[in-house]
Structure 1
Amino acid sequence: MCLIVFSYQPDSETPLVLLAHRDEFTARPTARLHWWADQGDILGGRDLMAQGSWLAVHRNGRLAAVTNVRRGAIVTDKRSRGEWIARHLLGHGSAQMTAEQTRNADEYGGFNALFGHWQNGRLQLAYGSNRYQPQTISPGLYGLSNGHFDEPWPKVRQAKAVLAALLAQNAPHPDWLAALKLTGTAPDDELPDTGIGLVKERWLSPVQIIGEQYGTRAASYLAYRADGRVEMLEQTLLPEQNGRIAHYAYESFNIRT
């Protein structure tokens, strides 16, 4: 997953609203949003090559999401970052405890992670990374792509502005994901320098990436309600077909305490 934006207001009627895009190679086998057969309390999409995920939740209210950290050429001989999803969801420690454990996870390629746990009717969030400093997350509106936490890359700024507008409008579910279908390239002077060259920086700069071999393959909406209700919507996208929506999936459940 390469873009996450979220509003975290733990004392409100909707403690969390999160929008995310997963960018991946089109040939990589993937299962869309579902309750996992081998871990029936986990809901999320799944990478069928490494059996990890990019965004998933547990019936007990725990959540996890990951993005890669982009620094130069892709490293292929490391363990899958997606393992951290199940590691947190099936664990018992707090979000902050899991975040601290990522600090020395050198056997993985660079990654960012968002962890959450539900305790005494309240959602707690933390940021973890093996490249940047883990931290507890305070209430606010945040974005996370392939740099450090809330680094203002153009796509992060765009997506945060979209989320802020949608929150103000109280828009219906499908509109939230439709609003992120932004395929424009950022100006060169606003692009990050992650060591991959200007041409690739341009190509990867849109909120939604279109491409034959790589692009945005899933768009997700996740919301936590104060009463313990969780909703998740996923669109399966075909970046090789100009981002056509191939499938919708929607699930909701009450947190089991």
Structure 2
Amino acid sequence: MCTVVVRVEPDTAWPVTLLALRDEDPSRPWDPPRAWWQDRGDDVVGVRDRTAGGAWLAASAPRRALAVVLNRAEPVPATDGGWATRGWLPLDAVTGATRASERPTERSYNLVHATPQGVRVTSWDGARVLTRGLGPGVHVVTEGAPDDVALPRIARWLDPFRHASAPVGPPPSIEPLLAVEAPTTGLGADWEDWFAVLRSGADVAPDRPDAILRDDLRADGRFATLSVVAAAVGPSGVVLEHARLATPGRLGTRS
């Protein structure tokens, strides 16, 4: 299950800053952020799932929008045609595409949608669709309701991220900040506190329920943290930085 940490601060140059960790089967092929979907426009970039063709995260600088989809835990019975891929949801969100049916045909999900106006989380649990706005401050979203401390990962990490100095502007290249021993040269000073919290996650066994850097073999397969995105959304656009982990669930990156 993926993790999104998001800061909301209205009426600033960059009202939204966000840190997203992608957890997926390491054997499932994927591509880093590029403009993979020509039918959506050259401005739409995202992390592409090659198997289903959709996006885990998508963004458009001129449209000033970013969206990321996270799996929820609730089972959803398949329709006659099977499930639709959740990977179209971020693409639809950033391009403003409308849906033909009000009832989702995907497995359960949380969709985090960020614009300069704020952040909305749309949740589908198999029974109903609920959309809620996130107020000012720092929030954590995983496989359930935002900021739900009944979930071990949120219980472990919400307060540390809230107590850290939140980034208020665009991210630098984040690969140096993901090193086990990060530089102390001031590189990415605006983001260093959040990444210090993330690096502290290396002290938690990756198969524990409260781990933020994950590598877990479950009944439905292996899920591990594969990549990290840092982003800022504001009236002037979207700035996005991405890094792929060299070893799933472990710090250290490769290009």
Separation (CA, whole Å) in 2 of partners of 1:139 and 1:130: 23
- Residue of structure 2 equivalent to 1:53: 55
- Residue of structure 2 equivalent to 1:104: 103
- Residue of structure 2 equivalent to 1:180: 198
1:167 aligns with 2:166: yes
- Distance change in 2, residues 1:184/1:240 (3 Å): same
2:93 to 82, 88, 93: 88
One-letter amino acid matched to 1:231? V
Q: Contact (CA 8 Å) 2:228, 2:242: kept in 1 or not?
A: yes
One-letter amino acid matched to 2:198? L
Larger mean Cα displacement after TM superposition, 3-12 or 202-211: 202-211
TM-score when normalising by structure 2: 0.73
Higher helix share: 1
2:136 to 128, 134, 139: 139
Unpaired runs of 5+ residues, structure 2, are 169-187
What secondary structure is seen at the aligned counterpart in 1 of 2:130? coil
- Distance change in 2, residues 1:45/1:208 (3 Å): same
Unpaired runs of 5+ residues, structure 1, are 187-199, 248-257
One-letter amino acid matched to 1:134? T
Deviations 1:111-139 (A, max 9, x none): 0111234xxxx423221111262223332
- Residue of structure 2 equivalent to 1:232: 240
Separation (CA, whole Å) in 2 of partners of 1:172 and 1:90: 29
TM-superposed CA distance for 1:92, in Å, is 5.9
Separation (CA, whole Å) in 1 of partners of 2:117 and 2:251: 33
Deviations 1:155-178 (A, max 9, x none): 224443443313289834466445
Q: Contact (CA 8 Å) 1:6, 1:19: kept in 2 or not?
A: yes
Separation (CA, whole Å) in 2 of partners of 1:177 and 1:102: 40
Matched positions, count: 220
TM-superposed CA distance for 1:243, in Å, is 4.1
TM-superposed CA distance for 1:240, in Å, is 4.2
Q: Contact (CA 8 Å) 1:19, 1:177: kept in 2 or not?
A: no
Separation (CA, whole Å) in 1 of partners of 2:124 and 2:140: 18
Separation (CA, whole Å) in 2 of partners of 1:185 and 1:73: 31
Separation (CA, whole Å) in 2 of partners of 1:84 and 1:207: 24
Separation (CA, whole Å) in 1 of partners of 2:227 and 2:245: 5
**Percent identity over paired residues:** 22
Deviating runs (4+, > 6 A) in structure 1? 72-75
What secondary structure is seen at the aligned counterpart in 1 of 2:161? helix
- Residue of structure 2 equivalent to 1:130: 124
Deviations 1:81-126 (A, max 9, x none): 1110111122267xxxx8xx99721x11110111234xxxx42322
1:210 to 212, 215, 222: 215
